[in-house]
Amino acid sequence: MMNEFELNPFEIKAEIARIFEELKGVSDFENFEVHYRMLDAQEDKSIIIKLLLKEINSKQLNAPLLKFLLLRYCDTKELSEKLWSIIKNSMASNQAKIFALDLLRDIDTNWSYEECEQYLDNPDELVESDTKKILDNALADPEVQIDFLDFLSSLSEDDKITLLRSLGNDYSKDELANMLVPVFLSMSDTPAGKEALDILGNSKSQLAYHALNSSLDFIDESLVSTVKKNLSILKLAGIREDNSHLFYKKLLKNSKPYKFCITYPDGHGYQAIIISRITQNGKVQFVAIVIDDYHGIKDCFGFNNITKFECNTIVERFYRGQRALDLEPSVLKSILIKAEKLSKHQMPYEYVCWRNLLADIEPATIKLNYRVTQLSDKDFYNILTYDFTDYWFLNSTYSDEFEEFLRGIEKIETDNFEEYIENNLEKVFYPEESRIWTERILNCAILKHYAKEEKAAQNLYSLYNDKKLIRELFKNILRKSIYEYFYAKEDIAKVKQIEDMWVKE
């Protein structure tokens, strides 16, 4: 049975961020034990260590606190090996190497400056002789791409462009494009992203052609002409059609789809997605993704080479008892493509790297063929009791409109709540908000269809087409939201009044 305190990677990431925020300006870290309890409770410390090591490239590096946490959670021998790996990595920043040297001096009795000196780079010498090896490894390992992008993100804008130009001058074709496509897709509105775009246009790479051509579906309008110009340059170089699927099919030939799961959207439109592949030797490439129906791809976290047991453990933590639906990879790819279009030029670079695990999979055409029927009162009530609707309520900070709604609800008696909801419904569910919620209903109908729950799918599809009943659904959401608001405030008297008025046996 899973420890109730076990966190998934996203929660660990947030917990680490909280610690760094709350212990700003503190030096006696050992006197703040209460802040470490949640991380201490994690049985598997490997994710904690991985995320802490990524902090080395942070622009606001709190070196003393980071050292304290690494020493707390990482075995000394393992930590020493990881620090040496950073020092010897030609793509590591000077900041990272200096941090590693400083900490290594405290834990490695065999440390000597003479041994380490050879690995300290001149800041202008950003690309060393083994960069080609790194580029080659990045084709098969998204974590290598992400390490590069972590490093790139730690640089100033001018240094980013210097590094990208160095790569563009020394390398070309698919190895180069594989590194720069995530830069362009995740930073396209920045000088570095635009520099990557121009380099991709001259890369003579089929991967560049695929990325630029695909980006026309979601890229910001201001970049369309520049993308088309670079596509023309690629065509003049002989890259006239998208053959990237053959490249990725060959790259992924030794693995096959493993676990593909998704949750139903919650009251904020969030859905938790897992995609994974398993290799012939039983190792798993695992990716967890969070999307929403407002902004698309929100966050992403992956592991390149874990066991099936580790994969299953992470899945259990990730979903924490919440119902997840197994989906065909082709269907899940279609859902992610839709989320990408919502993201436009703001996709996390981790996602841009990991999404290549789906590159050999054709997206499904998603279409429902149900007839719209008039829902009975019983059918509508059943919809209100579907398991995913347990999460369909708004919290107190959901939106400015809902915060204003709550300020008003505080001023009236419980008996007048229904009238207040009726009079303010369109203020909370204004046209764009209403549209998103309506599409959310269709999304749930699609998921019920693929779960082979045809009656539920039919009902949700009919609800999607019934504006009057959608309005009744919105009223129910506000009722639940009011209840949750007063419950969180521990207003026992008000909660009891609401239960007497709205809660059915």
| Domain assignment present for 91 | no
In a domain, 155, yes or no: no
- The domain total for the chain is 2
Residue 419 lies in a domain: yes
421 lies in which domain range?
377-502
Closest of 33, 20, 125, 93 to residue 63, by C-alpha: 20
Q: How far is CA 255 from the centre of its chain?
A: 23
Assess whether 344 and 431 both reside in one domain.
Answer: no
**Assigned domain for 282 exists:** yes
List phi, psi (to 5°) of 313.
-65, -45
Same domain flag for 448 and 498:
yes
* One domain for residues 382 and 479: yes
Contact between residue 77 and residue 103 where contact means Cβ atoms under 8 Å apart: no
Q: Which residue is associated with the tokens 């034990």?
A: 33
| Residue 139 confidence (pLDDT) | 77
Final residue in a domain of this structure, among 301, 327, 358: 358
Q: Considering the domain boundaries, does residue 327 fall inside one?
A: yes
Q: In what order do the strands lie in the sheet with 271-279?
A: 296-306, 284-292, 271-279, 255-263, 324-326
321 in the same domain as 261:
yes
Please check whether residues 488 and 410 belong to one and the same domain: yes
d(CA 157, CA 195): 11
Phi/psi for 288 (5° steps) reads -110, 135
Widest CA span in the chain = 81
Cα gap 272→261, rounded to integer Å: 8
Which pLDDT tens digits describe the chain residue by residue (505 residues)?
Answer: 455 677 888 888 889 999 998 998 887 788 888 899 999 999 888 889 989 988 888 778 888 899 999 999 998 888 888 888 888 777 777 778 878 887 887 786 565 555 555 555 543 443 444 466 677 777 778 888 888 888 888 788 888 898 898 888 877 788 888 889 999 998 888 999 999 999 999 999 988 999 899 888 888 888 899 999 999 999 998 888 888 888 888 888 889 999 999 999 999 999 999 999 999 889 999 999 999 999 999 999 998 888 998 888 888 888 877 788 999 999 999 999 999 999 877 789 999 999 989 999 999 999 999 999 999 999 999 999 998 998 899 998 899 999 999 999 988 888 899 999 999 999 999 999 999 999 999 999 999 999 999 999 999 999 999 999 999 999 999 999 998 888 888 888 888 888 888 876 4
Vertex 74: Cα angle to 72 and 79 (nearest 5): 125
> Is there a single domain that holds both residue 493 and residue 382?
yes
- Give the whole-angstrom CA distance, residue 192 versus residue 141: 23
Q: Which of 336, 213, 358, 353 is nearest to 273 (CA)?
A: 336
CA neighbours within 13 Å on the CB side: how many for 166?
Answer: 16
Residue where a domain terminates, one of 358, 388, 413 = 358
**Same domain for 463 and 393?**
yes
Burial of 30 (0-12, 13-18, 19+ CB in 10 A): exposed
Domain boundary among 307, 331, 358: 358
467 and 426 assigned to the same domain: yes
370 lies in some domain:
no
In a domain, 93, yes or no: no
- Say if 195 falls within a structural domain: no
